Structure 1
Amino acid sequence: MENKYPQTFEVIELCLLAGKIMLQCGAETYRVEDTMTRIAAALGIPNSHSYVTPTGIVFSTDDTNPAKLIRISERTTDLYKVTLVNGVSRKVSSGEMTREQAFLKLKEIENANYTFPIYQQILAASIASACFMVMFQGEWNNFIPALITGGVGFTSFIFLHRVVQIKFFSEFIASFIIGILSILFIKAGLGTQLDKIIIGSVMPLVPGLLITNAVRDLMAGHLVSGLSKGAEAFLTAFAIGAGIAVVFSFLS
C-alpha cells in the first residue's frame, strides 16, 4: 500500500496535466474526459472519475485519495496541441510510453509554442475576410476594402486583448473599428457593398470553434459545459453586433 499511493498521485497529476492542456487549447469536454479516463485506466486506475467545465477540472479515483481540482483561466485555440496530447494518450494506452515519459512529453507540449507569428495570423485574417466577402456574393471591387478592413480589425483585436484582458471589450472595439473603416471605404468610393464588406471582415472574430464545441457538448450530455460555452459564444456575437450597431447609429 505504501508504494501504491505515490504512484496513484503521479497518475492523477499526469491525467490532470493532459486534461488541462486539451481544455486550454479548445478541446471538447467529452474528449478531455475520455482522454483522462483512458490514460488512468492504462496506468492502473480503471475506475477514475472526472468532472470537466470550461473553467476547471475535478479528477478522482475510487480509492481513498481525495479528489483534486485544477483551475483553467486561459483558453485559446490550438488544435495541434490537442492532437499531440491524443497521441500521447494512445501511446500510453498501447504500452509504448511509460508514465514518466508521458509526463515529460506533456510538459514539453505545454511549454511549447506552436502558434503562428502575429504577422501570419493577421495576413491569414485579411485574406479570409476578403474571401468570405466573395463567398457571400460580394463584388470583386470590394475585395481590397474587405482585405484591409478585416486585417486592421483583427490586428486591433489582438493588441487590445493584450491591454484589456476582458475579451468582450477587445471584440467590441475591433468590430467598431471594422464598421468605421467599412463606411469610410464606401464614402471614399473604394467600395460598393457595405454589408458584404462588414460581414466578411468580422468573420475572423466569429467564435466558430466555440459554437461547435457548445453544440457537441450539449449533444453528448455535458449540459453545464455546453451552456457555458454557448453563453460565451453569445457574448462574443453580441460584442461584434454591438460594435457595428454603434457605428451605424452615429455614422450611417
Structure 2
Amino acid sequence: MKQLFFLLFVMVFGISAGQNIGRIEISGTVKVPAGSEAEGITIFNKNSNRGSVTNQHGEYEIAVAKGDSLYFSALQFQGVLVVVDEKAIKDQTLHVEILEGINELPEVVVREHDLSGNITADLKNIKVVELKLPSFSAADISKMYPDWHPSDDVQSAPRNAAVESSSAGLQNGANPLAIIGGLIELIVPPRKNKPAPEPYIGRIELEKIVREKYGDAFFAEVLKIEKKDISNFFDFCEESGFPRNLLKKEKEMDLLEYLLEKSELFREA
C-alpha cells in the first residue's frame, strides 16, 4: 500500500514539475481603475495550464517562460492577454493594467404591433375580460381559516410580552411544567436550526455567471471555443452535471481546470 501511495505521489509530482520545466517564478502587480478592487483577478498561463490570483494589493506570482501567454480576467474588468517577453524574464517582473468591463446587452428583436401612438385610441382597442370572482362572507372565511383571528385594534392597551411571559406562570401559583421545561433546556440545549440550503443555480443562470466572470474572449483564446458554440459547450457540461460548488470564490482554480478539461472533450466530440 505504501509503495502504491509513493508511486502515485511521484507521478503527480512529475507531471506538476514537468509543466514548469524551463520556467521561472515572476511577480508583478495588476493596476485597476480608481475605486476598483484589485483582489481576486485571475492570471492563467495558457501554455502550462497553471494559474494564480491577485491579493488585495493586486500582487501575484506565477511561473512563466519566454513566449508564454498570460490571460488576466475578472468579472468587472476586460480580459487582457499578455505574451511574456525577454524583458519580463530578465527582470522577473510583469506589471499589467486592466480596464473596466463593458457589458454587452443581448440582441432585441422588434416586432410589428398595432399601436398607433394615440393613447386614447389604443386604450379603446384593448380587449377587456370580465372576471367572475367568487364572493365569500365573513362566516365562510372563518370556516376556511379556523386559526385566523383579527389583530388588536389601535385603541387597545399595549401589551408587554416580556412581563406577560414571566408572570403568567405565577398568577395562579407556580407552574411545575414550566419549571421542568426550563431544567430540561439547561441539561439538553435545543437543537440549532439547520442553515438554509443554497439557492439552486439553473442552466441559463450558470452560463450567465461564468461568461460574465471571464468574458467571451476567454472562451475563444484560452478554451478555443467560438462565441457561437459557447451555449452548446455549457449544454455539454450540464449533461455530466456541472458542479455548482466550483462557482465559489475559493474554487477559482478548480473551476479553471474543470473548464479546460471539458473544453478538450467538447472539441473532440
TM-score category of the 2 structures, normalised to the smaller one: under 0.3
Could you state the TM-score of these two structures normalised by the residue count of structure 2? 0.20
**Structure showing the higher helix proportion among its residues:** 1
**Structure showing the higher strand proportion among its residues:** 2
Which structure would you say has the larger Rg?
2
Greater relative contact order (Cα 8 A, min sep 6): structure 1 or 2? Answer: 1
Could you state the TM-score of these two structures normalised by the residue count of structure 1? 0.21
